[in-house]
């Protein structure tokens, strides 16, 4: 079988001449060169994966369990296609990365939310799992270099490590921004700074393999923090773009960059091991910088047109800044809101407005209407999680549990008016108790 090297003007590429079917020994590298464009796509794909999963689970209403099954099935299908290829194919590779991002996040959420495992424990567990993957990988292959992903077994180790890094990145990122109350704005600075320090260490002579995998783990919480910065309301410290707009913006940037990668791969073949990016470093930096700048400019521009609260509840929140059990419709003056002495959750009035509407429908025995309206509470609460949870994780979890109780009571196959009223009264009491500025 004849092999030929195709020399590009700036960088080398490898292609394989037609002939007999390829065997595993004929595999070319199955992963992209580590370039500036690679890191930009990686960070953007992290946010896309998380926001899309939340959209399916909450906005579409599939729920966590159904979403988990769908995403896992899609990941398995994408990996089957990826393993069937014999060289790096940009569109399928990055599809796998997005799906691995989703499943890795869901894996951590399952441990934390469903099993109640502490973020400290899950972070430690995934660290150990990743270490085991690397140890077994090295003992079998005597290398961890991603420039050597050219056999089925090495690729299996690679994707196992990728999945674990996403789970570890999710756990460690949540630990930093939620359990340690750092918040997503500090998260952007901290994780961005750590990645910069990793790059400096690499330039100073630290091992390329070590610095790559450290940076790969850190891009997961950085991407999540950037996504939260764009999606959260302005009163929570974000830019108020919302999950849908942020996802579309990031997806457009990914689509352009991956399309360029695919064009280059089709034109020149696969980058040879250890070679620089096709088209040269200057073009690579230019495309990566342009994509990052476009996302930043468009994001800040759209943020200027957004208010701090969803339009559907803005007027209601202004007219009724605090809803109290037994005061609905009474016409009594609302006391001046003050800073809460024991929690920093802040203004919870927009959630109380929705709960008040649901209570009114339940009182009228309009359980179908209450079930429809409580969906707004679920979406609003989920959207605000990244901003509220770091302020007071304990009290956030208390409210989250009570909201789940209200949702369960209204969504059961045969809802009872008394059960719905009871769970809503408890929830409203807690909202009023924790409400402040």
Q: Give yes or no for residue 336 having a pLDDT over 80.
A: no
Compute the residue count for the chain. Answer: 437
pLDDT per residue as tens digits for the range 292-335: 999 999 999 988 886 554 434 433 443 444 444 444 444 444 45
Q: Which of 81-90, 146-155, 334-343, 392-401 is the least confident region? A: 334-343
Q: What does the alpha-carbon distance between residue 108 and residue 112 come to, in Å, rounded to a whole number?
A: 6
d(CA 272, CA 29): 8
- Helices 208-231 and 183-203: crossing angle in degrees, nearest 10, is 160
Q: In the block, which residue shows the tokens 């769970």? A: 423
Q: Tell me whether residue 363 is exposed, middle or buried, using C-beta atoms within 10 angstroms of its C-beta: 0 to 12, 13 to 18, 19 or more.
A: middle
Query: CB-based burial of residue 105 (10 Å sphere; 0-12 exposed, 13-18 middle, 19+ buried)?
Result: buried
**Nearest CA to 354 among 303, 397, 307, 410?**
410
Residue with tokens 């979406």: 379
- Tracing tokens 């002579």 back to the chain, one arrives at 205
User: Global pTM?
Assistant: 0.78
> Cβ contacts of residue 207 below 8 Å, gap of 6+?
none
Once rounded to an integer, what is the mean pLDDT over residues 153-182? 86
Instruction: Report how far residue 133's alpha carbon sits from residue 126's, in angstroms, rounded to the nearest whole number.
Output: 10
Strand order in the sheet with 12-16: 3-7, 12-16, 270-271
CA dist 200 and 212 (Å) reads 12
């Amino acid at each position: 079988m004849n092999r030929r090297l195709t020399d590009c003007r700036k960088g080398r590429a490898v292609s394989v001449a037609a002939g007999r079917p390829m065997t595993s020994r004929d595999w070319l590298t199955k992963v992209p060169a580590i370039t500036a464009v690679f890191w930009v796509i990686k960070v953007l794909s992290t946010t896309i994966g998380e926001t899309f999963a939340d959209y399916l689970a909450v906005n579409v209403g599939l729920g966590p369990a159904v979403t988990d099954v769908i995403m896992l099935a899609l990941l398995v299908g994408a990996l089957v296609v990826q393993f069937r290829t014999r060289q790096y194919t940009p569109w399928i590779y990055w599809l796998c990365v997005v799906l691995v991002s989703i499943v890795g996040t869901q894996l951590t959420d399952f441990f934390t939310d469903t099993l109640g495992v502490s973020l400290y424990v899950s972070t430690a567990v995934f660290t150990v799992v990743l270490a085991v993957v690397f140890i077994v990988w090295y003992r079998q292959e005597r290398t961890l270099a991603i420039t050597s992903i050219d056999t089925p077994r090495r690729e299996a180790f690679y994707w196992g490590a990728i999945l674990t890094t996403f789970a570890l990145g999710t756990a460690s990122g949540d630990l930093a921004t939620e359990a340690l109350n750092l918040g997503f704005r500090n998260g952007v600075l901290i994780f961005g700074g750590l990645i910069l320090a990793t790059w400096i260490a690499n330039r100073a002579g630290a091992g390329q393999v070590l610095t790559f995998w450290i940076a790969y783990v850190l891009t997961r919480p950085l991407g999540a923090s950037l996504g939260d910065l764009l999606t959260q309301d302005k009163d929570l410290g974000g830019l108020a773009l919302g999950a849908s707009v942020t996802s579309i913006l990031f997806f457009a940037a990914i689509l352009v960059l991956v399309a360029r990668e695919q064009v280059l791969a089709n034109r020149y073949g696969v980058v040879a091991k250890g070679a620089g990016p096709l088209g040269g470093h200057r073009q690579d930096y230019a495309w990566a910088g342009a994509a990052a700048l476009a996302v930043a400019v468009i994001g800040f521009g759209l943020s200027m047109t957004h208010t701090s609260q969803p339009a559907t509840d803005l007027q209601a929140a202004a007219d009724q800044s605090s809803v109290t059990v037994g005061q609905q419709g009474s016409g009594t003056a609302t006391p001046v809101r003050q800073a809460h002495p024991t929690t920093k959750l802040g203004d919870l009035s927009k959630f109380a407005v929705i709960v008040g509407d649901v209570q009114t429908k339940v009182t009228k025995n309009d359980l179908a209407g209450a079930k429809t309206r409580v969906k707004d509470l679920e979406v609003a609460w989920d959207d605000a999680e990244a901003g509220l949870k770091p302020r007071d994780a304990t009290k956030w979890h208390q409210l989250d549990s009570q909201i789940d109780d209200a949702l369960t009571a209204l969504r059961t196959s045969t809802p009872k008016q008394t059960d719905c009223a009871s769970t809503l009264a408890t929830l409203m009491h807690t909202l009023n108790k924790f409400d402040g500025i």
